[in-house]
Structure 1
Amino acid sequence: MSMPSSQPVAKTGDSIRQTFLTFYEQKGHRILPSASLVPEDPTVLLTIAGMLQFKPIFLGQREAEVPRATTSQKCIRTNDIENVGRTARHHTFFEMLGNFSFGDYFKEEAIAWAWELSTEVFGLPPERLVVSVFREDDDAFAIWRDQIGVPPHRIIRMGEADNFWSSGPTGPCGPCSEIYYDFHPERGDEAIDLDDDSRFIEFYNLVFMQYNRDAEGTLTPLQNQNIDTGLGLERMAQILQQVPNNYETDLILPIIEKAAAIAGLKYHDCDDKTKVSLKVIGDHSRAVMHMIGDGITASNVGRGYVLRRLIRRVVRHGRLIGIEGAFITQVVETAIRLAEEAYPAVRQRQSVIEAELTREEARFLETLERGEKLLAEILQRRSQQISGQDAFVLYDTYGFPLELTQEIAAEHGLAVDMEGFEAEMAQQRQRSKQAHETIDLTVQGSLDKLAEQVHSTDFLGYTDASSYSQVVAVLVQGELAQAAEAGTDVQVILDQTPFYAESGGQIGDRGYLSGEGLVIRIDDVQKDGDIFVHVGRVERGTATPGARVTAQIDRACRRRAQANHTATHLLQAALKKIVDDSISQAGSLVAFDRLRFDFNCPRPLTPEELQQVEEQVNTWIAEGHQADVAIMPLDTAKAKGAIAMFGEKYSAEVRVIDFPGVSMELCGGTHVGNTAEIGLFKIISETGVASGIRRIEAVAGPAVLEYLNLREAVVRDLSERFKAKPEELPERITTLQNDLKAAQKQLDSLRSELALVKSDQLLQQAETVGNLKLLVAELPGVGADALKTAAERLQQKLGEAAVVLGSVPEAGKVSLVAAFSPAVIEHKLQAGKFIGGIAKRCGGGGGGRPNLAQAGGRDPAKLPEALAAAKQQLQQALG
């Protein structure tokens, strides 16, 4: 790519970001922080656009705190993951610079400021810029032509697919206008094709959100006209730094060069294939750093799966360029250094990020080895080609590079079914696209229709257990209803309520709504934005909008929830004090009968630590610490030391629950007024639920008595059965266990002796193949250990021989053993690989040493077939 000498000097990514934010701050915009990559919106897996944190404002569900805002938003998109590194501008992680107006300014200002920023601040030559507008947006066309002075032939009208933004089939939408940079103006303006990526790059998109589209497709003007823009930081860096693609900007290139150095390479000397792998490492390293930094941990579901997949792609592409061992933390250290100025949290959480990456990388390196073994088994099938499904399983499940599969297959004279592989890939892309591509502003149909009509529910439950309320709306099966008779399941919206709606881990209250001839049992309460949805069943009468009702919570359930919720706060404080001060909450459940607390910790807690934590919590309960509840600015609360849940988004004003000297947290839940009201606290279990995440389950308050009563009943029953006092039970059970082990050991010995007797009878079935002996047989009812002993004995008695034995020791289980002498192994046969392949015919697998190996299966009906196949393969190999 060539650029004229008049182009401004290159600017760093950090300076571009700051210049953008400062420019709009001077235009009256409030600089707001990037939202977490874990969005508040439950319909979106990851934050994919700068406007996502403002969705409730655009929907009219929440008032804007400021009329104008500007942000640099971290974003993750994976719907085009296969293009990462192969094109100049596809990424999984990117930063979207945006300026937003919430019913304040509109097209004229948005266009004028975007042009001023691009040409006067960033210094882009006006003659190198082309703009697009929606084909019917004459207003935008006129502003660009008459007020900005863009020549009409460089204002391109485009259709709805390109220049009309909408989040879904219904909801807020509007035309947009985009600014493109022209890398090759020398090609002339006769036929401008904005789809030509080699010439044009779209770097700024201005969305004029001015309509609402209903279910019939009708557009009506919004009450407030909004502006939503996005400028790609990486794209502007490419333009200003005069490099051929986004990857060679200072935002990513240092990460790429670090990976190249680890592999003993120099990026600019590499071939195209190696450069693609290095670009993938550079891109994904930024993505996984920010994802873990925002509290995401690797798993097999949801955003945890996205993280795991990206980490595995980094490791896999490292292998492709020759890196054999662990390396990902070295690369991510460079990514942290580049990001810490704008996002200091990544440096603060460096130890958490590196610990998660180290664990996942080690696991995946082991998985890769298993993939190599699976490929070896596939090759043993002697098929004409490797199926597309097998190649995809190797690629997706084991992270085995397709190119490596093709290379190894070619060495064995085989091809790979690429058509089948691409079909599998297409299905996965579709799944990924559906999961990550759209921002749906119209979820839950009828509830969203109410958003513009219904005011936020007034919550009275911090002080009142009942209220006199009006029914605002009744929904049956998600649809608005004018009446709901007795026996109908309903959702009821009130103007005010004492019912707590599920949030912050605490479940919703239970209780009743009652009026003239009407009773509705409420089993749960959920929140949709700021609207409380009471879920229940009409017990008597008819529920109708406008009815006046008394809303009464179940006080006993509320007291239980309060005890459990306060106990979670005390539990976190005790964990920080006794185990590690860096422990933070990763999730929780506050129910009426129990509590669950998830926290980051790389190891299990010892029994002594659990006992100390439990004793500390009960000490604080007994001391009777009074709750101090206050509403204050977020910055003030943090300055006072209030604990916030990592990754949680808080408003400017927050509620602080303070038990002085013990615990102070930001929390919107309900709590006891004094810790003494809890009574008792008992830990039930401590387990691991994800990599680096531990879980404590416990009970507090009245639930402790119920728990102890249940345990006492169990102990009483055992005492009666064993005719022993409770304190004698451990010794009695230990004695019985020892007796059982001794009996089992004696039984196993007898079974082994019987198996040897049976096996000796098989010697006469051995056949001669060349200079070797071959014995393949079934020993019915023999366990795995006895079968192994028998196979070894038979091989020793036969001398240079191959012995394969199978058995069905119990229903639904198959055992297989292979014992090969040295002469058999010289025929390029290994017991481990051989018996593993045979076991697959019985729905299982296994392996072991070259001379002796065991395997298992789940389909006994296939054992005869498997043994016949083993005999045939050995006859061919040894003959």
Structure 2
Amino acid sequence: NKEYGKDKETDISLKVIADHARSISFMVMDGILPSNEGRGYVLRRLLRRAVRHARMLGIEDKFLAGAVDVVAEIYSGVYDELTNRKDYIKKVISLEEDRFATTLTQGMDLLNAEIEKLKAENKTVLDGEVGFKLYDTYGFPWELTDEILHENNMTLDKEAFDKAMDEQRTRARNARGENKRMDIPDLRDSNIGELKIDENARQAKIVCIWKDAKTTDSLEDGDEAGLILDVTPFYAEGGGQEGDIGSLKTDMGKAQVIDTKKLPDGSVYNIVHVTEGSLRIGDTVEITVDMENKLASARNHTATHLLQAALKRVVGNHINQAGSAVNAHHLRFDFSSFEPINAEQLQQVEEMVNAEILKGKDVKITHMNQEDAKKAGAMALFGEKYGDIVRVVTVPDFSMELCGGSHVKNIGQIGMFKIVSETGVAAGVRRIEAITGKAAIEYMNAKAELLQKAITTLKTNEDNLCDKVKNLLSENKEMKTEIAKVQAERAKADSNKLLMALKEYNGVNVVVGKIQAANMDELRNSADLLCNKFDKAGVVVLGAVINDKVNFVVKANKDGVARGLHAGKIIKEVAMVTGGNGGGRPDMAQAGGKQPEKLNEAFAKAHEIIQSQIK
């Protein structure tokens, strides 16, 4: 609705919006989301810059989703996927516009308050740390802060802002560093030689050892360190899958392999804990890989591929992996989706994966040119770096992905697949956790055992269990209603009994005493009931023993407060007698105590305090 060529500033803003709308559309089509790391940051900046320029043109409503229609029309016939995924792209952009609008509102309120403060102090420079807080805590772009300050003849202390940004990055790096299992020394001058990976290797030589970030020639009993073998069968952590574990044995010592990782150059190393004797460079070691652990991880990794393929079929092709974690115990799959996967869809996904497992197909692993693999339909993880030659893992007629992880040879080895949870972890990102094999069988057996316990406890059978539970819930509801009636009658009876013991001090009605109450709500209700019966100034002090502890409530009516009564001050003194404390408003207060046996002393104190307060 804006004319191009009207003026230079308008033309610039329109061009920025048009360019960004195109870039945003293609990024979302490619599976990039604002919540993603890396390119997600670029997408967020594009979205915010486009919205910011729209605001400069006076466009306050959402508009980018409509721009996607124009982009899709322009590229129709060239990028058909853009047209096919248009509704999804518009939804992603629309939600992000909503979030950014909230960010703008919050940020503008805070920034305007800071600007007013600067004006009052006759200052023209906004503290960089304040600008950074707007950016870091509230997501308010620093460029927008700078622009608004400029409009008010002010500036941002960019040097202090950059310093705060550097400090935050340093904290982030340190936090990541704390998660490392061990520091690795500079190994460039080490005479390691050629290294090989052979999954069938059962013997190798130790060619490098380090401990406490320093290379060494040997390890002793109790040491935890890193070492490299000249040939290794261990799978190193990567692609979301944990590294293999196992054991090493020499003529002079033994060690447990507690993790396997990669150096920056791709060399595989083991993190070991020496359990007996010593290990030295040059020693020949007998290798034992924990095959049960390795196979369990492989089951979960292959199942992750099946899960992603099933999600695309059941939920939609917009599902793209946003991270994963695989180990011997479970699999975790993060994926792009702005809506929860409903129970029916999850059941369909689970059934589809298990149906594939029952087919018992062999898993095919091939190596091919990256472009050829993508043309063949292999899925790749966006943001992941791949070489020219890639490893392609295929479950025939169901799944094809670029992957370097370990997998079962036949999907029948997975045994069983069970989804245990589906949750949201970030804006536009959902997470499914699932188990396979032995873990899935144990999970289902535990559920069956729980079901049997419920059947036995309720003295019914499996077919009638739901009806039995419904009947119990109905009976429970009726019982609660009856109990409430009894409690109301009991409160009324207690109240009437206390009213009979009412005392009057200088024209003020005073009711002090103990009642039976199951909770503080009942205690407060009784105090209200009694206070409402007064036709002049009055105060009620009630105590009850609940779960072996004392609870007090003091309620003074309007006329009582006018006569000098203060519920908060009364209850403080009363509660202290029973080893407690409390306070509150002049008309209402509550407190607790630890010594029920001193309840009568507390009531005597209440009479004393009330008489001293009356004017």
Instruction: Return the match for 1:327 from 63, 70, 76.
Output: 63
Residues in 1 aligned to 2:209 and 2:297: alpha-carbon distance in whole angstroms? 27
- Report the AA paired with residue 274 of structure 2: V
Task: Give the percent of matched residue pairs that are identical in Structure 1 and Structure 2.
Answer: 34
Unaligned 5+ residue runs, structure 2? 174-179, 489-520, 538-556, 558-567, 569-580, 589-615
Match of 1:612 in 2: 348
Structure of higher CA gyration radius: 2
1:459 to 192, 197, 201: 197
1:469 partner amino acid = A
| Alpha-carbon displacement from aligned partner over 1:165-199 (angstroms, at most 9, x marks no partner) | xxxxxxxxxxxxxxxxxxxxxxxxxxxxxxxxxxx
Given candidates 663, 670, 677, the residue that maps to 2:406 is 670
Equivalent in the alignment of 1:399: 140
Which amino acid in 2 is paired with 1:699? I
User: Which residue number corresponds to residue 187 of structure 2?
Assistant: 449
Q: 2:242 aligns with which of 504, 507, 519?
A: 507
1:571 counterpart SS class: helix
Give the distance between the partners of 2:5 and 2:532, measured in 1 at CA.
65
Do the aligned residues in 1 keep the contact of 2:415 with 2:436 (CA within 8 Å)?
Answer: yes
Distance, in Å, in 2 between the alignment partners of 1:278 and 1:336 is 18
Q: Is the 8 A contact 2:132 2:164 kept in 1?
A: no
Q: Do the aligned partners of residues 362 and 764 (structure 1) sit closer, same or farther apart at CA in structure 2, a change above 3 Å counting?
A: farther
863 and 508 in structure 1: CA distance in 2 versus 1, 3 angstrom threshold: farther
Determine if contact 1:486/1:542 at 8 Å carries over to the other structure: yes
Q: Superposition pairs for residues 297-696 of structure 1, below 5 Å?
A: 297-299=33-35, 304=40, 307-308=43-44, 311-329=47-65, 354-370=90-106, 397=138, 399=140, 402=145, 425-431=161-167, 446-450=184-188, 454=192, 457-461=195-199, 464=200, 466-528=201-263, 529-696=265-432
CA distance in 2, matches of 1:754, 1:339: 73
SS in structure 2 of the partner of residue 449 of structure 1: coil
| Distance (Å, rounded) in 1 between the aligned partners of 2:248 and 2:262 | 18
1:706 counterpart = 2:447: no
- Per-residue deviation at 1:700? 1.2
Secondary structure of 1:686's counterpart equals: strand
CA distance in 2, matches of 1:454, 1:349: 51
- Partner AA of 2:198 in structure 1: L
Report how many aligned residue pairs link the two structures: 498
- When normalised by structure 1's length, the TM-score is 0.47
Please state how far the C-alpha of 1:360 moved relative to its aligned partner.
1.0
Partner deviation per Cα, 1:345-374 (whole Å, 9 max, x = no partner):
989977665443221111222344455666
Distance in 2 (CA, whole Å) between partners of 1:423 and 1:764 is: 69
* CA offsets 1:709-768 (integer angstroms, 9 cap, x no match): 332344455456555555555445555656677749969997796697699799999xxx
Change (3 A) 1:301 1:578: closer
C-alpha distance in structure 1 between counterparts of 2:191 and 2:86, whole Å: 46
CA shift in 2, pair 1:758/1:275, >3 Å? farther
CA distance in 2, matches of 1:431, 1:302: 20
Aligned to 1:110: none
In structure 2, the CA distance between the partners of 1:514 and 1:318, relative to structure 1 (3 Å rule), is same
**Partner SS, residue 328 of structure 2:** coil
Q: Deviations 1:423-478 (Å, cap 9, x if unpaired)?
A: 863444435776999xxxxx9974553388545642212xx2x4211112112133
Q: Residues 209 and 228 of structure 2 are in contact (CA less than 8 Å); yes or no, is this contact kept in structure 1? A: yes
Task: Give the 5 Å matches for 1:283-294.
Answer: 292=28
What residue identity is the alignment partner of 1:681? F
8 Å Cα contact 2:455/2:465 also seen in 1? yes
Superposed, which structure 2 residues align to 1:154-233 within 5 Å?
none
Describe the superposition over 1:793-848 as per-residue Cα deviations: whole angstroms up to 9, x where unpaired.
x9xxxxxxxxxxxx9xxxxxxxxxxxxxxxxxxxxxxxxxxxxxxxxxxxxxxxxx
Match of 1:28 in 2: none
- Output the CA distance in 2 between the equivalents of 1:559 and 1:704: 14
SS of the residue corresponding to residue 450 of structure 1 reads coil
* Structure 1 equivalent of residue 562 of structure 2: none
The CA distance in 2 between the partners of 1:317 and 1:636, in whole Å, is: 41
1:275 Cα deviation after fit? 8.7
Asked if structure 2 preserves the Cα contact closer than 8 Å seen for 1:456 and 1:530, the reply is no
Which residue identity does 2:418 align to in structure 1?
A: K
Distance in 1 (CA, whole Å) between partners of 2:470 and 2:130 is 49
Query: Alpha-carbon deviation of 1:509?
Result: 0.8
1:24-173 aligned at under 5 Å gives the runs none
Contact residue 206 and residue 227 of structure 2 kept, 8 A:
yes
**Distance in 2, Cα, partners of 1:533 & 1:862:** 64
Partners of 2:79 and 2:185 in 1: CA distance: 36
Aligned-residue offset at 1:690: 2.8
Letter of the 2:366 partner, please give it: A
**SS state at 2:379 partner:** coil
- What is the 5 A alignment of 1:732-751? 732-734=468-470, 743=480
Inter-partner Cα distance in structure 2 for 1:755 and 1:404: 60
What aligned pairs does 1:747-762 form with structure 2 within 5 A after superposition? Answer: none
C-alpha separation in 2, matches of 1:654 and 1:294: 20
| Structure 1 residue 567: Cα displacement | 1.5
Relative distance call for 1:297 and 1:638 in structure 2 (3 A) is closer
Cα separation, 1, equivalents of 2:463 and 2:213: 56
Partner SS, residue 542 of structure 1 = strand
Cα pair 1:489 1:538 within 8 Å, conserved: yes
Give the residue type in structure 1 aligned to 2:196: D
Preserved contact between residue 457 and residue 530 of structure 1 (Cα < 8 Å): no
Q: 1:512 Cα shift?
A: 0.8
| Alignment-mate amino acid for residue 587 of structure 1 | G
Q: Give the residue type in structure 1 aligned to 2:261.
A: Q
Deviation at 1:682, TM superposition (A): 1.4
Partner of 1:152: none
Instruction: State the SS of the aligned residue for 1:614.
Output: helix
CA distance in 2, matches of 1:524, 1:488: 15
RMSD between superposed Cα atoms in Å: 5.3
Structure 1, unmatched stretches of 5+, are 1-260, 438-442, 766-793, 795-806, 808-859, 868-879
